[in-house]
Amino acid sequence: MKAFIPVAAPTLKGNELKYVVECLSSNWISSQGKFVTDFEESFANFIGIKHAVSVANGTVALSLALKTLGIGPGDEVIVPDFTFAATINAVFHVGATPVIVDIQRDSWCIDPLCVEKVISKKTKAIIPVHIFGQVVEMSSIMDLAKQHHLYIVEDCAEALGATWEGNSVGAFSDIACFSFFSNKIITTGEGGMCVTKSDQLNDRLRVLRDHGMSKERKYWHDEVGFNYRMTNLQAAIGLAQMEQLDFFLKEREGIDEFYDHGFKNVPEFRSQLKLSRRRSTLWLKTYLLDSRYSVSLMIHKAKDKNIDIRAFFYPLSDMSIFKAYAPYFTAITHEISASGFCVPTSLSFSRDDYQRVIQVLKEVMESMRMDYFWNHDLSLPQGLPPNV
C-alpha cells in the first residue's frame, strides 16, 4: 500500500530550525525576545497595516479582539453558520450573544443580506470569515457596519494572502485575526495574530494580552486581563515562515491549478469560484460534489487507498449548543456543508503525490458512477413508471 497522504501538513524547510536554536541558545524562550517583535513587524508589513499583536492562538485572537472593542454580556455579534467553531466560541468567551446567519451561494461566505436582516439595537459587531481562503463581499459588510455603527472583526484564519480590491484581507476591519495552527497558510505550531490600524486599539490589545498590566506602571493592573502571549520560540518559527510566505502563496496557486487541471474531465466536481473584485488564497483545495453522490462514501473509499479527504464544516446551527442562536434556517450553509470536500493541500507534498490523489479520486468517482447507475436500474420495478 502506498504511503498515507494527510489532508494537510506544515512545511518547515526555511530558517525555522536555525531561529529556534537561536532562542534555545540565547535562553529567550518565553514571550520576550527579538523574534516576537520581528515576527509582528514582518506580519504587519505583509498585511500593509500599522500594528500586529501576536497571541497564543487564533481563537484567543478573536476573543481578545472582541474584548478590546468592549464587547460583552448583552451585546450581539453576527457570525456565519459556515465556519470553524472557534469563530462562535470566541463570542461566548467574552459573554456576548452570537447571531448565526446564512452564507452566499457563490462565495460560501457570510451573506450581507442575511446580516442586515438580523441587525438589532443590541448588535455590536460582525465577524466576516474568509472561508477556505475565499474573500467575503467586503464592501457590503463595510457599508452595513458604517450605517449601523458596528465593529468588524475579520476572521482571516484561513485566508492569509488573499486580497479584496487589491488590499490584503485584515486591512478592512477594526481588528482582524489570523491563526497559525499547523494546517494554516503559515504556522507557529499554535499561534495567532491581531492586526489593527488604530494606535489606541493596539495599546489596548497589548495591555489585555498581558494581564491587563498598566503600560506605565509594572505590576499595576487597571483592568482584568489575560495571558494570551505568544512565545519567542513560536515567533521564531513564525518569522522563518514569513520569509517564505510569497513563495508559499505562489506554490499554492500552482497546486490549485494542478488539481483543477487534473479534475477538468470530472463533471461531478465543482471547484470553488473565482469571484470579481477579490483574489482568494488557496488554503485547503475544495470541491463541491454533485448532489447525487455521497461525500462520506467518497471519503471512505479514498481512505481505503490511503488518501485523506475531509468533509466540510457542519453547519453550526445543527449542533445543539448553537442551535438557539440561529434565528432563520440556513439553507445554503446546509447545502454547501453537505456537498463539499477538501483534498490534500500542502507544500510538503510532491507533484507525484497530487497526481496520485487525482488518480484515486477519479477511480473513486468512476466506481460511484457505476454504483449509481447500477442501483438505479435495479431499483426500478419492471413495467412501472419511474416515479411510483
Ligand X SMILES: *Cc1c(COP(=O)(O)O)cnc(C)c1O
| Closest separation in Å from C-beta 51 to ligand X | 19
Residues 229-268 that bind ligand X (CB under 6 A): none
DSSP per position, 58-75: HHHHHHHHHHHTT--TT-
Q: What is the maximum span of the chain, computed from C-alpha positions, in angstroms?
A: 88
Nearer to ligand X, 156 or 365 (CB): 156
Q: State in angstroms the smallest separation of the CB of 25 from ligand X.
A: 28
Cross-strand pairs, 177:
155, 194
Number of Cα atoms under 13 Å in the Cβ half of residue 281: 26
CB of 60 to ligand X, least distance (A): 7
Number of chain residues interacting with ligand X (CB under 6 A): 14
CA distance readout (Å), 145 to 105, 118, 202, 326: 22, 13, 21, 20
Can residue 196 be called a binding residue for ligand X (CB under 6 A)?
no
Work out whether 86 is an interface residue with ligand X (CB under 6 A). Answer: yes
Residue from 16, 76, 102, 158 touching ligand X (CB under 6 A): that is 158
Instruction: Kindly give the pairing relationship between strand 285-289 and strand 269-271.
Output: antiparallel
Using CB under 6 A, pick the residue from 54, 123, 179, 187 that binds ligand X: 179
Q: Which stretch binds ligand X (CB under 6 A): 38-46, 81-89, 165-173, 358-366?
A: 81-89
87 binds ligand X (CB under 6 A): yes
Q: Which is nearer to ligand X, 93 or 148 (CB)?
A: 93
157 binds ligand X (CB under 6 A): yes
Name residues contacting ligand X, limited to 2-61 (CB under 6 A): 57-59
Amino acid identity of 102?
D
Per-residue DSSP letter, 198:
-
DSSP state of 74: T
Pick from 170, 192, 225, 238 the residue near ligand X by CB under 6 A: 192
Alpha carbon 237 to its chain centroid, in Å, reads: 20
Smallest distance from the beta carbon of 339 to ligand X, in angstroms? 19
Separation of alpha carbons 146 and 149, rounded Å: 5
Measured distance CA(241)–CA(11) in Å, rounded: 9
Q: Which residues is 87 bridged to in the sheet?
A: none
CB of 96 to ligand X, least distance (A): 16
- C-alpha 1: how far from chain center: 33
State which residue has the least CB distance to ligand X: 58
Task: Return the residues of window 137-156 that contact ligand X according to CB under 6 A.
Answer: 155
Which positions lie near ligand X, rule CB under 6 A?
57-59, 83-84, 86-87, 129, 155, 157-158, 179, 181, 192
